[in-house]
Structure 1
Amino acid sequence: MNNNRFMTGMIAGSVLGITAGVYAINRSTPRQRRRIMRRGAKMARNATRVMDAIDMFR
């Protein structure tokens, strides 16, 4: 039950984050857009590294 609730929250949070990101990109200048895309790529890389580190300890 608890795991199901966690997954529901993760999915809802992801959808909300994507929606906010798309809105922000549509309302920004090209220079701001490039900066947002770079930050997003950096965050994705860091998240992947964290997930790999967590898997390594199992």
Structure 2
Amino acid sequence: MFNFIIFIFNFIIFNFIIFNFILFYFILFYFILFNAIQFSQYSTSDPLELTRSIILYS
């Protein structure tokens, strides 16, 4: 029973760490995307220009 409790506890901590990493990269990606849209010189509807801005400001 005690082993089971420890297993659950470790599982929760492990999932929390992985979730935090995913959340961090998700926020980072959106921040880069937002900067690219904000600083793109031409219309953001052009996918090539948007890609160039993402590469430029990442």
Give the counterpart of 1:25 among 30, 34, 37: 37
- TM-score of the superposition, structure 2-length normalised? 0.53
Gap regions ≥5 residues in structure 1:
37-58
- TM-score of the superposition, structure 1-length normalised? 0.53
Structure with the higher helix share, 1 or 2: 1
Could you list the runs of 4 or more consecutive aligned residues of structure 1 that deviate by over 3 angstroms after TM superposition? none
* Structure of greater relative contact order (alpha carbons < 8 Å, 6+ residues apart): 2
Gap regions ≥5 residues in structure 2:
1-12, 51-58
Give the counterpart of 1:5 among 2, 8, 17: 17
> Aligned ranges for residues 34-45 of structure 1 at < 5 Å?
34=45, 35=47, 36=50
Q: Alignment identity in percent? A: 15
